[in-house]
Structure formats: structure tokens, C-alpha cells
Copies of this chain bind each other. A is one copy, B any other.
């Protein structure tokens, strides 16, 4: 029986992509070199990175006035680069609906020790244990001073998401989104955002690459920052200010081609909705399992959180599931419980297998 990887990131990579990597690992593009060895300045790599950028632009419908940056350091690095670049002498606003949103806010506060940045939370659902999204009240924002409003489109740990139709409509302040766990899994209109960013290890490939998509007019030309922290410098050098993570970019490029072959982002969103619905429907009809998300229309289609009636059953569930080839179902260490991450590359058969197992486990433990 094939194993299914429900991990939240690093996570499942399409089998077809793994096959290509295996084939090319000794000889990339007939260069006689491994993809691991080729220079980032070589024509082969230049072609690869510009193709990856073009594919990403086409797949996500990224307008021409947005830069695409391939960076390192994960979303956590963006948590501080964002305010350092965009909020000097301004106010950075945060809507906090999950632990990563809270981290983004806390890192901005740390960044404000280095620059004159005012960091303001417009609210948090922490008192509800992040079981719901913050209702964003734009009245709380001083548009004269605002650099941006930051939010998280998908809360990986808590299993909630702001879908496109629920995004705040504010043309007076750039919306910035951490899209790490649902980029290319939900079809967002990028023109609604000033910047979006995402670690690649969920829907875009492997750990070690971070994608930043930023409106060009937000790039500052007169601010002095160390080069590796400066979006303007990184954009001028086309993500090649220094040696980029060549292999992770190569894998992302393969993922983009795979997404195209699947029919694009809209089609993957349709499939993701179908996979998530299967699982939510099963949870909802069960008296044994429970999904803690308060508002049904805020349920993530990428990370489905559920719990057994008792915490010790959650642990047993994860261990037993592992034996049946259903891997990495343990919830995030900060909240416990169970979590099934159903990213683009996760097959619907895996959801069916999970539901089968859930039935058996309920039968044995109810």
C-alpha cells in the first residue's frame, strides 16, 4: 500500500516531479552536470529561473507591475523584512488570527528596534484560541500613516482561511498576505495585494525557497538597508544578488509545470475543495470527531484540523494511522490534536483512505 503524507510542510511532492528529479539528478539538461552542481550564472540556470518566474506569473495571473523574488529564509524572514522595507516612519497594521500572524506582528515589533516603525495590532482572536478569523475593522486604520495591513490567508496551525470573497476591500492601504500554506491552492487575485509571500515547502516545492510577489511601486529606492534585506536590491539583481538556492528553484519550476499540467490554479482549487469537503463532511456527521473551527465558511481547504473525544486518543490515532501508511497526522505541537494537510499534490485517494481509517478507529474507540 502506498503511503500518504499529510505533513503540513515540508510536505508531499508530486510523484511525477520526483521522477523528473531522479532522472535529472546526474545530468541536467544534457549539461553533463547535476542540477546540484550547475552555476547560477550559467545560461542553463538563467533559462530555468526566468521560465520559473514566467510560469508562476502566468499561473497566478500576476500583473506586470509586480516583481517576483525567489529568496531564502522562509516566511519568518519576511516577518522582519516586510516592516524594515515598507514601514519606515510609518505604521504597520496587523490583523491576528493565528500563531503565525501573531509571530509576524511580534517580529515587526522587534524590527521596530532597528528602525522608526510604529506597529499596531487591529485585533486578535487569541482569546478564542484562534478558532475563528478576526473581523477586520478598517476604521481602526489611520490611512495617513498606514504602511500596510498584514494578514494570513491560511492559518496552517488552526485550520482557518480567508477566502478571496472575504478579503477586506481597502484601496487606501496595501494589503500584505502571508500565503505560505494556500498559495496556488486557492485562486487569489494578486492585484488586491501590495505584496504576498510564501515559504515554498507546502504548495511550491521544498524548504529553502521563499517566494515574494511585490508591487513595484512599494519598492523603496532611497532607504539604506543591508543588501540581503533590501527588496529593491534583490529585485534589481533579479533574485541573484548572491547565489540563490538553485535546487529549490529548480523544484519550484517543476511544480509550476505540474500545476499547469493539472489544469492550473482554479482547477486545483476545485480539487482541493472536493478533497476537503469529503473530510469535513465525514467529520460533521460523526459524533466522535470534531473540527474546532467556529465559522464553517472560514474552514481551510489546505489544513483540516480535527480531534478525537480525548487527547490521549489523538495520540493513539496518529500512531495507529502511521502504521496504516497515513503519515504525519499529528497537529502542530502548540495546539495538539490532529491535522490533515491536503495540499495541491495530495491525492484524493489519500483522503478516502484516511476516512476509512477514521471509521475503523471510531468503531474501536467509541
Contacts and interface: CB of A to CB of B under 8 A. Distances in A.
Contacts of A26: 18, 22
A37 interface: yes
A110 B11 contact: no
Main secondary structure, interface of A, reads loop
Interface residues of A, number: 66
Please tell me how many copies of the chain the complex holds.
2
B208 A80 contact: no
Contacts of A325: 32
A208 B42 CA distance: 17
A121 interface: no
Interface stretch (A69-77, A165-173, A212-220): A69-77
Contacts of A76: 227-228, 241-242
Contacts of A206: 36, 246-247
Contacts of A225: 110, 113-114
Contact of A11 (B37, B73, B79): B37
A74 B40 CA distance: 13
Interface stretch (A2-10, A122-130, A259-267, A350-358): A2-10
B251 A208 contact: no
21 contacts: A10-B37, A10-B243, A13-B37, A21-B25, A22-B22, A22-B26, A36-B205, A36-B251, A72-B208, A79-B228, A80-B227, A80-B228, A107-B228, A114-B115, A114-B225, A114-B226, A199-B243, A206-B246, A207-B243, A207-B245, A208-B245
